[in-house]
Structure formats: structure tokens, C-alpha cells
Copies of this chain bind each other. A is one copy, B any other.
Amino acid sequence: MPPSSSTIISAAMLAIGDELLSGRTKDKNIGHLADVLTMSGIDLNEVRIVPDEEPAIVEALNALRERYDYVFTSGGIGPTHDDITADAVSVAFGLPCEHDAEAMRLLGDMYRVREMEFTDARKRMARMPRGAKHITNPVSVAPGFIVENVYVMAGVPQVFQAMLDNVMPSLRTGSRILSQAVSSPFGEGDIGTPLSLVQKAHPETSIGSYPKYDGQRFSTEIVVRARDASALDAAAQDVASMIATITREKAARSA
């Protein structure tokens, strides 16, 4: 849908899985979702990671879905006993969790074609809260699902990404946050005070400062963000002028 000029659409992510908290798996879905939402004009405002435990999932999901326009979950929708996301989402919404007829048909057809047994474990992947809408899974067929503003997707990154691609066109989007980056060869200590003055002079922008350390010294990437392009340009120009001034001053001092 086309964005209206001042709409702000908010989102949260709930990543589900013991393996993310034990360090066994390094999450790749949070950063990907952040990239895709930012490009689309949806603001990712909060992320939580919880274990495969129903009370933890239910509590986090209910907190997030009340507060944000969209909630995206990853993980826990496979065929094994530790995949409890469908049950937990059902509990959160007070809905029965049952084998969805259309999902049973899709999965049954696939396993028939592949001459594989449609085991009870595989049938678990057809379970979802009653009335949930499907999210198509072009990688491995077993669908994700949507209940109200909650989008339940797989944890395997290839499947998560494919499901996300399928839902993005249906989401309401706001005005995109535009950004411009200005590199500073100086550390934050050199630029902190003048940069805070630039921020004060451009209150409709958000100026972030990201230190980098190469093992020897710090430099800084300054990122100006705004929904309005001219406000963005003006602030970014002031940041660039500020860097130029500091460069001149340092040169004069060492001359």
C-alpha cells in the first residue's frame, strides 16, 4: 500500500529458540528483518529473544502485540517436540491450536509426490491457531501463519527470508526514514560536543554516532536520519561542515 506522508508504522520482533540463548546458533534473522523493514518504511522498535518455553513466549508476545503495529516471530514451527510456537501463539490469543485443513492438504500432497511418509511429526507443521492465515513457504512448503498483527515465521534463515518476502507487500508502510552517512576520521571524543550542537539545531532529524575501532584508534561513522529529505540534507551538510572545521583546526594546531 502507498505510504501516507506522516504515517509511522511500528514493529517488534520476537526470536524464539534455546539455541539463540545458548550461543549455539548466532541469529541472522534480526538483522535481516531490520534491514527489510527500514527500507520499507516500518520502524523496528524492539526485539526480544526468548527460549522455547510457553510462558516466556506468551508473555513476550502479548506485551509486544499490544504495543506495536506488527510483531514478527522467528523459530519453533518445525515438526519436533521443542517446536512449540504454534501452541504458545494459540495460548496468547486464547484460540485452539489445531491441524489446519489446507496446511494438511499442502503437506500431504508434497510428501505424496516425494514418496515420503506424512508422519505425525510432519503433521505438527500443519498446526496453527484456528482461523490463522497462511504465510506461503516456497522453500519447504510448511506454511507460517498470521493471527491479527502477529506474523509467525520459521527460524531457518532461508525460510524466514522467503516468508518475509511473501508478507511484505501486504503490510501497511509509513514514510520511510531516510539516512545519510558521514565518515569522520576522528573519534567520538573529538566530535561529541560540536555534534550535539548540530543535533540541537536539527531537532527533526536523529543523528547517530557509531564508533569504530581498528585495533589502534577510533574513528566514527555519523548517520543522520529523517523522514523529510530536505531536513536530512541540511543536517548532513552541517555535519560535514563540522568535520571540515575540526580537520582545519587540527591542521592549524599541528602546523
Contact = CB atoms under 8 A, between A and B. Distances in A.
A27, A32, A177, A207: most-surrounded residue (chain B CB, <10 A): A27
Interface in A44-80: 44-52, 56, 78-80
A196 interface: yes
Interface of A: 18-27, 30-38, 43-52, 56, 78-83, 111, 116, 119-122, 124-125, 139-140, 156, 158-159, 177, 179, 188-193, 195-196, 199, 206-213, 215, 218, 223, 225
A209 B80 contact: yes
Contacts of A188: 78-80, 83, 121
Nearest to A78: B188
Nearest to A32: B23
A48 B77 CA distance: 21
Given A21-B44, A81-B196, 6 more contacts: A21-B46, A24-B208, A25-B210, A78-B209, A78-B211, A119-B190
Given A80-B196, A191-B80, A191-B121, A19 B210 contact: yes
Q: Is the interface of A mostly helix, strand, loop or mixed?
A: mixed
A174 B219 CA distance: 40
A50 B64 CA distance: 12
5 contacts: A22-B38, A45-B56, A111-B189, A139-B213, A159-B213
A81 B195 contact: yes
Contacts of A37: 23
Contacts of A124: 192
Contacts of A159: 213
A18 to B, nearest CB: 6
Given A27-B31, A48-B47, A208-B19, A140 B213 contact: yes
